[in-house]
Amino acid sequence: MTTQTIPTFSITGADPSPALRVRNLVVRYGRGKDAIHAVDRVDVDVSRGRTLGIIGESGSGKSTLVKAISGLAPVSEGTIEIISNSGTLRPASSSIGRGGQVQMIFQDPVLALNALRPVWQSVAEPMEPGRLITPRRLRADAVELLGQVGLGPEIADRRPTHMSGGQRQRVTIARAVASRAPLVMCDEPVAALDISLQAGVLKLLDDLRTKLKLTYVFISHDMTSIARIAHDVGVMYLGQLVEVGPVNEVLKRPRHPYTQALIRAVPRIRANAARMVPLEGEIPDARRPPSGCRFRTRCPFAQEICAQEKPQNEVLDDRTVDGRRHVTACHFWREIRDGKANYREESL
Ligand SMILES: Nc1ncnc2c1ncn2[C@@H]1O[C@H](COP(=O)(O)OP(=O)(O)O)[C@@H](O)[C@H]1O
Ligand code: SF4
Ligand SMILES: [Mg+2]
């Protein structure tokens, strides 16, 4: 088997229909030695009409990544290209909201909706710009959209506080798609919902993606949600991607010890769990990330080289699925795969 080292964490190689291309993205908060590199040289590819899941522990930079794509977090370095059918656009703060190319669905629907307004108005708001229509027609369109997310007309005049969490999240989804923005950033959209409601909202999101030809970046700290909705997945640790690939491939054959540890923690989906190491310790301080491989302080396979050299992105080309690549950055992924890596009780 041969492996290929690539400069970017590109899952797609030459993508025939890209919707989003992020290169070398850095989002820095603060200045000097206490600056936090919340996102530190991240590459992202999403093909039109697909869902890219991003998984990682809290504090790994997932929200910052999608906020930067939406124009809600500052881009310190790198490029973000949103590719529309008519050309290439770069988002700035103006790209969110009215008439924009990107919409966001947040974890907490209470914050996303105006508590004082009936929900139909929140849904209608992004529809308005440039449309010369009567308020009556606007309301009718909003009610129709609420119907598409499974909410009856009796809901339209309610305030968000008089609804269940699941209903509120459906309203925010209706609001997000009302703008007709083709790219939707979903930041833990089901994390605040009761487990019994999560599957329904995930299915709704997936149905809307197909029907309205949307493209999603879907963030979660929960591997089960990612497995349900994503086509591809990127695993993020301390501001960087450590593994990307088609979701089934990564779930069945995770190659990075961090991915393995995340999967090991989910009994329902873990594969070959006996050979995976548990995740121990805390995510390090983002102001002082470890040298070389950032995971080394928690990795039981870490060797001297892991402290000295950042591992390169390598394509696992024996497992390309429909032209989509499985890529990881670990000095010892082959040895770990073959059960030949040195296992240390205590990491460096
Ligand atoms: N507005 C901000 N100002 C300063 N630091 C921030 C800000 N937003 C996030 N961070 C920091 O950036 C890092 C990544 O945070 P975040 O993107 O929220 O991660 P996640 O969504 O994966 O939990 C964390 O260390 C967090 O404390
Ligand atoms: S073996 Fe080294 S490079 Fe691989 S994850 Fe562990 S510390 Fe990082
Ligand atoms: Mg977050």
CATH of the domain at 215: 3.40.50.300
Residue 75 lies in a domain: yes
pLDDT tens digits along 201-258: 999 999 999 999 999 999 999 999 999 999 999 999 999 999 999 999 999 999 999 9
Ligand 2 shell residues, CB under 6 Å: 256-257, 293, 295-296, 299, 301-302, 306, 311, 330-332
Q: Which helix (H) or strand (E) holds 249?
A: helix 247-252
Quick one: tokens of 311? 């591992």
Residue 189 and residue 173 share a domain: no
Best probe residue, ligand 2, of 262, 293, 313, 333 (max atoms within 8 Å of C-beta): 293
**Domain identity same for 54 and 169:** no
- 205-214, long-range: CB within 8 Å, 24+ apart, which pairs? 205/173, 205/229, 206/51, 208/148, 208/149, 208/173, 208/177, 209/49, 209/51, 210/49, 212/177, 212/180, 213/48, 213/49, 213/182, 214/49, 214/177, 214/182, 214/183, 214/184
Among 137, 159, 177, identify where a domain stops: 177
Q: What are phi and psi of 104, to 5 degrees?
A: -120, 145
Kindly give the parts of the chain with pLDDT less than 70. Answer: 1-3, 6-7, 13-14, 85-99, 128-131, 270-276, 317-321, 345-348
Task: Tell whether 347 is covered by a domain.
Answer: no
Do 93 and 189 lie in one domain? The reply is yes
Q: Note whether 220 and 147 are same-domain residues.
A: no
177, 204, 220 - which closes a domain: 177
Q: Cβ(39)–Cβ(25) under 8 Å?
A: yes
Measured in Å, residue 309 CA sits from the centre of ligand 3 at 28
Distances (CA, A) of 12 to 6, 9, 48, 247, 326: 12, 9, 12, 13, 9
Q: Which helix (H) or strand (E) holds 45?
A: strand 36-47
Angstrom distance (rounded) from CA 88 to CA 23: 14
Q: What pLDDT, on a 0 to 100 scale, did the predictor assign at position 77?
A: 94
79 and 139, same domain (yes or no): no
158 and 91 share one domain: no
Determine the Cα–Cα distance for residues 20 and 3; give it in Å rounded to an integer.
26
Cα 290 to Cα 345: distance, rounded to the nearest angstrom: 19
Residue 194 phi/psi, 5-degree rounding, is -55, 145
Asked if 211 and 223 sit in the same domain, the reply is yes
Structural domain for 327, as ranges: 4-101+181-269+284-337
Burial environment of residue 200 by CB neighbours within 10 A (0 to 12, 13 to 18, 19 or more): middle
Q: Are residues 158 and 190 in the same domain?
A: no
62 CB under 6 A from ligand 1? Answer: yes
Q: Which of 201, 223, 297 is nearest to 257 (CA)?
A: 297
Domain count, the chain: 2
What pLDDT does 270 receive?
Answer: 63
**Is 344 part of a structural domain of the chain?**
no
Give yes or no for residue 313 CB within 6 A of ligand 1. Answer: no
What is the per-residue pLDDT for 267? Answer: 73
Q: Is 138 helix (H, G, I), strand (E, B) or coil?
A: helix
118 shares a domain with 50: no
Instruction: State the residue for tokens 């197909």.
Output: 210
Q: Tell me, using a 6 A CB cutoff, whether residue 38 lines ligand 1.
A: yes
SS3 of residue 199 by DSSP: helix
**CA within 13 Å, CB half, 189:** 33
Q: Which of 177, 200, 215 is the last residue of a domain?
A: 177
> Is residue 156 located within the same domain as residue 248?
no
Q: How far is the CA of 222 from the centre of ligand 3 (A)?
A: 12
pLDDT at residue 2 in the model: 56
Q: What is the pLDDT of residue 346?
A: 58
